[in-house]
Amino acid sequence: MDFKDLANLEQVSIKNIPNINEKWIQDYIANDPSVLGLGDIELKSKEKVQPNAGRLDLLLQDSENNIRYEVEIQLGKTDESHIIRTIEYWDIERKRYQSYDHCAVIIAEDLTSRFFNVIQLFNGFIPLIAIKMKAYKIDGKIAITFDKILDKVKPGDEDEDLEDDIVDKSYWENRASKESIEMALEVCNIINEFEQGFVPQYNKCAVLMSKNRTPYRFLIMFPKKTFLRLDIVLEKSKETDDFIEENDLESLEYNVRKGRYKIKISKREFSNKKEAIKKLLEKAYNEFSK
């Protein structure tokens, strides 16, 4: 290819482009949220009114992985008020809709060093993504790109420390729901059908299966408000993938690093899925016990 065949990109400030403002960018993303590179997401709402706190630019949702993104847009440089507003909206949404995981997203043209200094103060406490917008002139037209330059700054995995303080059942009934704890107990009963002696061990971060006061980590349970998530330790395989699909189990994103299938189950569908869950758990236990 000759150099003369290459297009000449001229970076321009979005703030200085006529007829393009934050509302235009908002509508552009709302029309096709995939431009942000956050996966298979959809628009949940736009300009969502927050109680005593203004309007959230965009609320996006990843239905498969049960994640909501609270998105704020700013042309030009980020400033402290914009950062605070983004975090405030994220906090409001996560408290109101606790059955979802939530992530704050800041989109701006210029993410300054001061921005990163401020964000470091929240490191380990707030899941946050920073996306930098750029605009280019090419052949008389404008192209806008979105580059993720800061991925989720989050508290770590839910089960980062499975040796944390042991709690009682009521702790999880209050944190999640009695319904999801009932399902966890039923899962324990299912396990005892093929290997007796297991009881639930309630830790602050998760519910484990314990036998003779020793946790067996072929299964880690995360009770939620409206469902129970089962993290089943199994090597990813086509056979297991096909089994999950054939039995219509709702599987979230596979955890490659920890080798876990994440199954989301609600009380309504639990009784119809017991046999399929039992087969997965028995397979995981046999692999764990080798």
What is the domain-level CATH number for residue 88? 3.40.1350.10
Q: 150, 177, 202: which is the final residue of a domain?
A: 150
Q: For residue 227, what pLDDT band results from cuts at 50, 70 and 90? A: very high
Tell me, yes or no, whether 141 and 221 share the same domain: no
155 part of a folded domain: no
Q: Does residue 213 sit in the same domain as residue 267?
A: yes
d(CA 257, CA 246): 25
CB atoms within 10 A of CB 190: 16
**Do 78 and 108 belong to one domain?**
yes
Q: Are residues 198 and 247 in the same domain?
A: yes
Q: Which long-range contacts (CB under 8 A, 24 or more apart) does 54-58 make?
A: 54/85, 54/89, 56/89, 56/93, 57/22, 57/26, 58/26, 58/29, 58/30, 58/33
- What is the pLDDT, as a whole number, of residue 252? 83
Cβ neighbours around 178 below 10 Å, total: 13
Give the end of a domain, one of 92, 115, 150: 150
User: Rounded to 5 degrees, what are φ and ψ at 41?
Assistant: -120, 160
**Is the pTM of the predicted complex or chain greater than 0.95?**
no
Domain shared by 8 and 145, yes or no: yes
Adjacent-strand bridge partners of 145: 134
Nearest residue to 107 via CA among 77, 137, 84, 127? 77
pLDDT digits (tens, 9 = 90+) for 59-92: 999 887 788 999 999 888 887 788 888 899 999 9
- Same domain for 13 and 135: yes
CATH of the domain at 266: 3.90.1150.20
Residue range of the domain that includes 124: 3-150
Structural domain count of the chain: 2
Evaluate whether residue 252 is within a structural domain: yes
pLDDT (tens digit per residue) in 101-123: 899 999 988 877 677 767 766 65
pLDDT per position as a tens digit, 141-199: 888 999 888 776 444 455 545 556 789 999 999 999 999 999 999 999 999 999 999 99
Q: Has residue 115 been placed in a domain?
A: yes
Residues 125 and 198 placed together within one structural domain of the fold: no
**The residue to which tokens 């969502």 are assigned:** 48
> Mean pLDDT throughout 247-252?
90
Q: Is there a domain that residue 38 lies in?
A: yes
**Helices and strands, counts by H and E, the chain:** 7, 13
CA atoms within 13 A on the CB side of 181: 15
**Distance separating alpha carbons of residues 232 and 278, to the nearest angstrom:** 11
Q: Looking at the domain assignment, is residue 161 inside a domain?
A: no
Q: Are residues 100 and 143 in the same domain?
A: yes
pLDDT (0 to 100) of residue 128? 87
For residue range 2-39, list pLDDT tens digits in order: 656 666 778 888 888 888 888 999 999 999 999 998 88
Please tell me the predicted confidence (pLDDT) of residue 164: 61
- What is the C-alpha separation between 276 and 273, in angstroms, rounded? 5
Residue 244 reports pLDDT greater than 50:
yes
Other C-beta atoms within 10 Å of 276: how many?
A: 17
- Alpha helices in the chain, H assignment, sequence order: 22-31, 80-96, 113-120, 169-175, 178-194, 238-246, 267-289
Judge whether 164 lies within some domain: no
